[in-house]
Amino acid sequence: MGILNNYLDKFINKKVAVVGAGISNTPLIDILLTAGIETTVRDRNIREQLGEAAVRFEKNGAKLILGENYLDDIYEDIIFRTPGLMPTNPEIIKAVGKGTELTSEIEAFFDICPCKIIAITGSDGKTTTTSIIAELLKNEGKTVHIGGNIGTPLLCDVDGIHPDDIAVIELSSFQLITMKKSPDIAVVTNLSPNHLDVHSDMDEYINAKRNIYLYQEKTDRAVFNLDNEITCEYAKTAPAGEILFFSRREKVKNGVYLENGTIFESKNGNETEIMQAEDILIPGIHNVENYLASFTAVSGIVSHDMMRSTAKTFPGVEHRIELVRELHGVKYYNDSIASSPSRAIAGIRALDMQMTEYSPENDTTGNNENRRKIILIAGGKDKGIPFDEFGAEVAARVKTLVLTGAAVNQIHEAVLKTSGDKKSNHDTNKYEPEIILCDDFNDAVQTASKQAATGDIVLLSPACTSFDKFKNFEERGKTFKDIVNGLV
């Protein structure tokens, strides 16, 4: 009998609710029904929105509770929640108070996974870091399973995972908030305000992320960003036996760091050069940080030679400063993943510095306008995070700002405020990008294209979520690519 069947045995004679019939939970629903377990599917969507899946679930014996009241009187013995359902939901609190067990697909996988798990979280960079770690391990000859917030749900495939394999898992705060088990290797890329439209406050967000390392043991490894105040605080309470750091600002005693453009590993007092940061294929200092985190995570598992060759050839991940095409001398980049101001700032800086070593702070020409090359498309649904810093970045580095979506007014005001502040300080340079507002996303892309001249860059880096107009950032990014690829 396989690992999965042994796990499913605990649900015999139990009533199970699966809340959310999305990508991560659909395979789970199917295996529960196949095993003959009494299963209720609860989803906010109505039957027509679930489509064929609703028919299949019912045919295989599921009870469906759909629509706005899908959580009313939730009574089942075990609830598998979708990551988007917070444990602070009143109906969930009531059910747990009566003895219901609350879990999730990813928590179940952690409970029964037969191989080593490397898990990555953070406010920014976690998907790219996850992908880099997986690529490093695969190139080293390891069998790798990618899951969590990216990849495919792994619980249903657990019987095909062998003890010598490695699972590389990206974890969001929504997944971590109820976790009671930590991975063998935990990586925290950074922490900054994020998802404050969902979390009750910043403390809840920080505490949710903490679960990635909180349940580690002395045989485990934890990797933290030395340049980030919150992750440094994490390190003080980490129970892992091996605590490693990465930094692009200072040397570390144990871990990986950047110094004068060179990446070094420091271990037990010995320092070894790994590579030159400029040889990393994907652009941006934030991607240098992602490699620092990744190299630290796989230290002792992946050779320095393989680290170098991977960094020089790995093209990155879709929707993350992805070069879509070059047309009439204009490059179009898709950074749809940038759903927070800090992530969008990283994208702007990456391409700004790729074009020129210019920064507003060291400009001595008295006219930075001739250096502006970025036509930025931004906007969407905000996360409750201020746009002040983003507005300053746009004012300093962007040639034309094309805004669309629900948060256009907040972003517009943040950019204008920065421009006003600069003027009040008697700055002689012109810190005022042209700002164009568009109701329609397609119109925004077309407008950006018309504004661009040879040598310019059109960058989609929204600083907002996509939920005002799209299902997710992937759909937004693919729509952008479709429009761009249709330009003539």
Q: Per 3-state DSSP, what percentage of the chain is helix, strand, and coil (rounded to 5)?
A: 40, 20, 40
Distance CA 211, CA 318 (A): 28
CA-derived radius of gyration, the chain: 24
pLDDT tens sequence across 186-236: 999 999 866 666 666 788 899 999 999 999 999 999 999 999 999 999 999
Distance CA 485, CA 488 (A): 8
Q: What is the pLDDT of residue 365?
A: 34
Could you give phi then psi for residue 273, rounded to 5 degrees? Answer: -75, 130
pLDDT tens sequence across 462-487: 999 998 899 899 999 999 999 999 99
Q: Could you tell me what percent of the chain has a pLDDT over 90?
A: 76
Q: What is the mean pLDDT of residues 305-322?
A: 92
Sheet-wide strand order for 434-437 = 322-327, 330-334, 457-460, 374-378, 398-403, 434-437
Q: What is the mean pLDDT of residues 355-374?
A: 47
Q: Could you tell me what percent of the chain has a pLDDT over 70?
A: 92
pLDDT tens sequence across 117-163: 999 999 888 989 999 999 999 999 999 999 998 878 899 999 999 99
DSSP label at residue 387: -
Chain-centroid distance of CA 319 in Å reads: 11
Indicate whether 368 pLDDT > 50.
no
Contact 243, 185 (CB under 8 A): no
pLDDT band with cut points at 50, 70 and 90 for residue 268: confident
Indicate whether 81 pLDDT > 60.
yes
Indicate whether 262 pLDDT > 50.
yes
Domains and CATH numbers, the chain: 3-103 (3.40.50.720), 107-313 (3.40.1190.10), 322-361+368-485 (3.90.190.20)
Q: What is the mean pLDDT of residues 446-451?
A: 97
Contact 244, 222 (CB under 8 A): yes
Contact 413, 389 (CB under 8 A): no
